[in-house]
Chain A
Amino acid sequence: MKAVVWHGKQDLRVDNVPDPSIVNPHDAIVRVTSTAICGSDLHLYNGFIPAMKPGDIIGHEFMGEIVATGPACETVKVGERVIVMCGISCGRCWFCKHELFSACDNTNPAGSQAALETLYGHAGGALFGYSHLYGGYAGGQAEYVRVPFADVGCVKIPAELSDEQVLFLTDIFPTGFMAAENCKIQLGDTIAVFGAGPVGQFAVKSAYLLGAERVIVIDAVSERLAMAAQQGAIIVDERHGDVIPRIEELTGGRGPDSVIDAVGLEAHGTGVGAVYDKVKQVMRLETDRTTALRNAIMVCRKGGTVSIPGVYGGLVDKFPIGAAFAKGLSFAMGQTHFHRYAKPLLAKVQAGEIDPRFIVTHRIALAEIPAAYKMFNDKQDGCIKVVAKVGT
């Protein structure tokens, strides 16, 4: 089969690789019909995620048709059209039973678990196509994927919905939604969203769905700001100088009730802090750049929540913990518990409350994915979300 293979930093190729097979009893094989490039895939592309190995198949937003099932599969059936949650969860451990699916105890193999325990104290669940820290599972930018615990991770899709309407339920829509849900939105709330990438866009949508009065979006890319504005957000362009005074002004000096950091460890940022982070990251003294997170903490109102869907992987310094303490902020963060949100959000799509297709800017074929990474990374051609059609 053909698959997008990671060969090194900014070196992706479409290779011919062996097809996957059923390995464990709860596995299924999915023939991919659509797959997307996620913002977090750029962290792999740019070599920020450790424990990648040349030959790894990447991609974690995908859907398709079940073509084989293991002997222990009960609900998934060959021929069904499904979306596949990008996190892999067993559905049986304490964490899965408590809907903390991304903290699954069992899906990360013992080897990856030991590595994550060294880094983080405890190991969470695995992800498709996201390094050997997260299980070394082959990803979804491929023609076929082995899907472990398929009964837990696959959600059946009604025929009347198109691929593009449901594909983002595998990752970015639940991620934006959980980010907004973590803000515990109350009547009259103003929510600020740093980063108008795909997750930021879904966070805007979700904040309004959950009853936010106003959403302010901060970014530095014109077409992303334009898309946010189309969704009814008030936009703040980072290129026009310090964003904090402008957000203060928009909120009557009070600060937003909650702030979402949908940027994560590759924040571009501006000013002295951004240069400091960039230098330290290049010198390997600091793994993550935190301009967005620092601004989020500084601007959030007293007693508000800083919600972090953006990915962080390692260590930061100059983290304003004093400001967070002094203002009594709450933090909510972490990998999304995808399985918790897929079905409720699918119902919203079916009911017409939201049409996720608004996010797609580029439609390509599998073979064009490596070039699309470069375009997405360089923010060329108004690129916000790339979807690849696979197979026929």
Chain B
Amino acid sequence: MQPYPVVRSRLVGVNIAPAERIATGLAGGAAIAFGVGQRSVRGMLLAGVGAIAMMRAISGRCPLYRSRAARKGIQVRRAITIQCTPQKAYEVWRDLANLPQFMTHVQSVTLEEGGVSKWVVKEGGKELTWRAELIEDTPARRLRWKSLPGGDISHEGSIDIRWATGDRGTIVEVKMRYFPPGGLLVASALYGFLRKLTAAQIGAELARFQQLIETGELTTGARRVRDLDEDDKAISAQQVSPLERALDIGTSAETSTWTGATNGATNGGAR
């Protein structure tokens, strides 16, 4: 369940391919030489254009590409293969009440009039809300949604569902495109970080989605029910740096006495 290979961003750093840089440089050089040779106003203008092309070739950074990339937002794709039918995967995802179970940072999803869903998410102690509308709903095949203007997060996404080969089950692929507050041009330095964060978050959500469908419970290393909250916090926070945060998932050291078979059993139940 690896994130798909990162296509080098047009947003940060050098964003022109080597071949294009060489071609631009050659064209720019030719324009300068020809323009200066003309010894006319038009010639000088041509030489000016050539100089701009030359600069673009040398720096390797194109502001036009950059702003065009910013309009595309942060894009993430992740997929998982689950032992169930496409219909089952579709039904579990389509039922909004299920979503907060495996999207642990989602506090609630509620349905409003006209098929609009209202999302409340807790991220780093801050509550974020937005409304989203379903723009495609093909049973057992695809869901696409888009946030409505005016929310805290602007994004669009889809899940594609299809049979895997042989007996491997069903592939669920999530595609997300998301626009951070303030615009990506402002946040371009954080592009890689934000993309990783989003990919890790979706990866963890898909892993829990699989756990829920295949086993009916959410896996945890917690030793006791009372350790769960801490555990969940650690899990949702780990998306910043998986390996480091993995160190912090665990049990607290308070004292309590084990209350035996009957009491222990009543504590059960999927969270």
Task: Determine whether the beta carbon of A93 is less than 8 Å from that of B83.
Answer: yes
Residues of A within 8 A of B215 (CB): 26, 90, 92, 106, 149
B268 vs chain A, min Cβ distance (A): 4
Whether B268 lies near A105 (C-beta < 8 A) is no
Q: Is the CB of A1 within 8 A of B258?
A: yes
Cβ-defined partner of B214 (8 Å) among A19, A50, A93, A144: A93
Contacts of A149 in B (CB 8 A): 215
* Residue B234 lies at the interface, judged by CB distance under 8 Å to chain A: yes
Task: Determine how close the nearest CB of chain A comes to the CB of B91; give it in whole angstroms.
Answer: 18
Whether the pair A55, B242 counts as a contact (CB closer than 8 A) is: no
The chain B residue sitting closest to A56, CB to CB, is B250
B254 to chain A, nearest CB (A): 6
With A and B bound together, what is the CA distance between A57 and B83 in angstroms?
33
CA distance A149 to B220 in the complex (A): 11
A46 CB within 8 Å of chain B: no
A70, CB-defined interface residue at 8 Å: yes
Cα distance A132–B249 when bound, in Å?
Answer: 7
Distance of A67 Cα from B259 Cα, bound (Å): 11
Bound complex: CA of A136 vs CA of B222, how far in Å? 8
Cα A282 to Cα B228 with chains together (Å): 37
Chain A CB within 8 A of B8 CB: no
B89 at the interface (CB under 8 A from A): no
> With A18-B224, A25-B216, A132-B221 in contact, do A106 and B210 touch (Cβ < 8 Å)?
yes
Q: How far is the CA of A19 from the CA of B251 in the complex (A)?
A: 11
Interface centre among B1, B216, B265 (most CB of A within 10 A): B265
Quote the shortest CB–CB distance from A19 to chain B (angstroms): 3
Evaluate whether A29 and B245 lie within 8 angstroms (CB atoms) in the complex, with A110-B235, A111-B238, A114-B204 already known.
no
Docked complex Cα distance between A136 and B207 (Å) = 17
Q: Give chain A residues whose Cβ lies under 8 Å from the Cβ of B217.
A: 24-26, 72
The reply to whether the CB of B208 lies closer than 8 angstroms to some CB of chain A is yes
Q: Please count how many residues in chain B sit with their CB below 8 Å of the partner chain's CB atoms.
A: 59
Are A22 and B265 in contact (CB-based, < 8 A)? yes
Q: Is the CB of A55 within 8 A of B246?
A: no
Is A23's CB under 8 angstroms from B220's CB? yes
* B219-A148 in contact (CB<8A): yes
- Known A21-B267, A23-B220, A148-B219; judge A111-B258 contact (CB<8 A): no
Q: Residues 140-178 of chain A: 1 if any B CB is under 8 Å from the residue's CB, otherwise 0?
A: 000010101100000000000000000000000000000
**Nearest-Cβ distance from residue A99 to partner chain B, whole angstroms:** 14
CA distance A103 to B269 in the complex (A): 25
Q: Are A17 and B239 in contact (CB under 8 A)?
A: no
Interface residues on chain A, number (Cβ under 8 Å): 60
Cβ–Cβ < 8 Å partners of A136 in chain B: 221, 246, 249-250
**Contact residues in B for A112 (Cβ distance below 8 Å):** 221, 246, 249
B218 within 8 A of partner (CB)? yes
Known: A18-B254, A107-B219. A94 touches B269 (CB 8 A): no
Bound complex: CA A227 to CA B2 (Å)? 46
A 44-68 to B, binary, CB cutoff 8 A, 1 in contact else 0: 0000001101011100000000011
- Distance from B242 Cβ to chain A, minimum over Cβ atoms (Å): 4
Question: In the complex, A137→B267 CA distance in Å?
Answer: 18
Q: Which of B83, B223, B239 meets A146, CB within 8 Å?
A: B223
Q: Which one of A17, A23, A123 has the highest number of Cβ atoms from chain B below 10 Å of its Cβ?
A: A23
Is A232 close to B, CB under 8 A? no
Per the bound structure, the CA–CA distance linking A137 and B219 in Å amounts to 10
B242–A24 touching, CB < 8 Å: no
Please name all residues of chain B whose beta carbon is closer than 8 Å to the beta carbon of A50 when the two chains form the complex. Answer: 243
| Residues of chain B lying within 8 A (CB to CB) of residue A122 | 1-2
Give chain B residues whose Cβ lies under 8 Å from the Cβ of A1: 258
A55 to B200, CA, bound (A): 27
Query: Quick one: closest B residue to A88, CB to CB?
Result: B219
For A94, list chain B residues within 8 Å (CB).
81, 83, 167-169
Please give, as numbers and ranges, the residues of chain B lying within 8 Å of A78 by CB-CB distance: 261
Alpha-carbon separation in the docked complex, A56 to B246 (Å):
13
Residues of B within 8 A of A71 (CB): 265, 268-269
Asked if residues B224 and A51 are in contact (CB atoms below 8 Å), the reply is no
The reply to whether B243 and A138 contact each other, CB–CB distance below 8 Å, is no
Report Cα–Cα, A126/B246, bound state, in Å. Answer: 13
Is A109 an interface residue when CB atoms closer than 8 A count as contact? yes
The answer to whether A111 and B246 have CB atoms under 8 Å apart is: yes
Q: Is the CB of A113 within 8 A of B223?
A: no
Measured between beta carbons, the chain B residues less than 8 angstroms from A25 are 216-217, 268-270
**Cβ < 8 Å to A, chain B residues 182-226:** 200, 203-205, 207-208, 210-211, 214-226
A23 and B243 in contact (CB under 8 A), knowing A148-B219, A149-B215? no
Which of chain B's residues have a CB closer than 8 A to the CB of A53? Answer: 247-248, 250
Choose one: A21, A22, A57, A115; the contact of B246 (CB below 8 Å). Answer: A115
| Cβ–Cβ contact B83 & A24, under 8 A | no
Neighbouring A residues of B234 by C-beta, 8 Å: 111
- Cβ contacts under 8 Å, A24 to chain B: 217-220, 268, 270
Q: How far does the Cβ of B246 sit from chain A's closest Cβ, in whole Å? A: 4
How many angstroms between the C-alpha atoms of A51 and B245 in the bound complex?
Answer: 9
| Binary flags per residue of B44-85, CB closer than 8 Å to A gives 1, else 0 | 000000000000000000000000000000000000010100
Give chain B nearest CB distance to A101 CB in angstroms: 14
Question: How far is B268's CA from A146's CA once the two chains are assembled, in angstroms?
Answer: 12
- Shortest distance between the CB of A60 and any CB in chain B (Å): 13
Contact status of A114 and B83, CB under 8 A, knowing A17-B253, A24-B217: no
Leading 6 A-B pairs by shortest Cβ distance: A19-B258, A136-B221, A114-B242, A110-B204, A68-B264, A115-B246
Given contacts A24-B219, A55-B253, A111-B235, could you give 6 more A-B pairs where the C-beta distance is less than 8 Å?
A22-B267, A50-B243, A106-B219, A126-B221, A136-B246, A146-B224
Please report B residues at the A interface, Cβ cutoff 8 Å: 1-2, 81, 83, 167-169, 200, 203-205, 207-208, 210-211, 214-226, 228, 231, 234-235, 238-239, 242-243, 245-251, 253-262, 264-265, 267-270
A-B contact pairs, 7 of them (CB 8 A): A21-B264, A110-B208, A110-B219, A111-B242, A113-B204, A113-B207, A115-B245
